[in-house]
Amino acid sequence: MKPITFSASPYTIDNIQLFKGADQAVVRKLLAPCPIMHVAAGRPLNPGGRALYIVLSGALSVAADARMGMADGNINKVLPGESAGEQSVLDEEANLTAITALEDSDVLAIDAETVWKLIDESNGTARNLLRLLSFRVRAANAQLRRRQKVGEFYRQMSMVDGLTGLYNRAWLNELLPPMVGQAHGTEQPLSLIMVDLDHFKKFNDSHGHLAGDQALRAAAQAISNALRPSDFAVRYGGEEMLVLLPDTGADVAVVVAERLCDRIRQSVIFHDMRLPMPHITASLGVASLTEGQDEQALIACADAALYRSKEAGRNRVTAA
């Protein structure tokens, strides 16, 4: 079968995605006046213009524009037979994507009016265009989902303390107020334990800051291992940690705090037996939410109890 060419060019239309299965005579008639542009490698195509471009030879690169909030360094390569710029033609918006020739290319430029005529007069072209747009929407949705996942990952990372793996102050600031609100609303108890490592300055001075970091990790691990999945451990400050116990009243909170105190005292800082065996202890303060109390007052109560543990000789638990 004789290949169908268009314009005065040697190119055939049977390999162009958009015109697959379309009435070739109609397509050829409408494409006849459309210019074929030769674009040198690295040159942009009509920035901001409204035209549908079909690559006949060479290759184009299409990068989403930052103004759309879609720019993410992703570049799509458009190869012979494929098209770019359909959307700007259909929604009558200026093309916000940067289209550049990756290599010396021949590109058929179809102006908006001709695209609409093709849609009106060639069912096959209209169907192909719909299919193409549907594919583009799916790809954009998948890209958005990927970006949401990455965003959520970084959001969660920003809520975790890098040294201990416990939640950090940002997490506490976001989550404690609603937890206090919920406890008041449901009249469920909520308890809080403040944990502060004893003589930690001396520990650092004697064993070095790296050993201090390791001791902090060991204490955080001991705390995490001793809690129920419904409890939360937070690194509150340097060597100060905080434990939140939802649905837990004062009596049980003191039992949990005693357990944490024991586990920290027994924690192994260096598993390498050739290293000296320093150990740590902690002082703890326990407070339970009282009527009308806000989160700051609750923390202040636990802090005051912790201070009394320090005053009484450290390595112990005091309840507010």
Ligand X SMILES: Nc1nc2c(ncn2[C@@H]2O[C@H](COP(=O)(O)OP(=O)(O)OP(=O)(O)O)[C@@H](O)[C@H]2O)c(=O)[nH]1
Active-site amino acid positions:
239
Q: How far is the CB of 275 from ligand X (least distance, A)?
A: 16
- What values do phi and psi take at 36, rounded to 5? -105, 120
Residue with smaller CB distance to ligand X, 86 or 198: 198
Whose Cβ is closer to ligand X: residue 131's or residue 201's?
A: 201
Chain residues in the site for ligand X (CB under 6 A): 163, 196-202, 204, 209, 212-213, 216, 238-239, 310, 314
Between CA 135 and CA 202 the distance in angstroms is 64
Contact 234, 171 (CB under 8 A): yes
| Of 108 and 215, CB closest to ligand X | 215
Q: What is the nearest approach in angstroms of ligand X to the Cβ of residue 308?
A: 13
- The smaller minimum CB distance to ligand X, of residues 2 and 202, is found at 202
Q: Which residue, 189 or 212, is less far from ligand X as judged by CB?
A: 212
CA dist., res. 51 & res. 53, Å (int):
6
d(CA 21, CA 167): 59
Which pair of structure tokens corresponds to residue 106? 């021949």
Specify whether the CB–CB gap between 256 and 248 falls below 8 A: yes
- Shortest separation between residue 246's beta carbon and ligand X, angstroms: 27
Give the torsion sign (CA, 183, 184, 186, 189).
positive
Residue with smaller CB distance to ligand X, 58 or 212: 212
Q: Supply the minimum distance, in Å, between the C-beta of residue 76 and ligand X.
A: 46
> What strands lie across the sheet with 60-63, from one edge to the other?
75-78, 60-63, 98-101
Q: Smallest distance from the beta carbon of 219 to ligand X, in angstroms? A: 11
Q: How many CA atoms lie within 13 A of 183 on its CB side?
A: 25
Environment class of 243 (CB within 10 Å of its CB; exposed 0-12, middle 13-18, buried 19+): buried
Min CB(92)–ligand X separation in Å: 58
Rounded Cα–Cα distance for residues 246 and 102 (Å): 59
Pairing of strands 190-197, 282-288: antiparallel
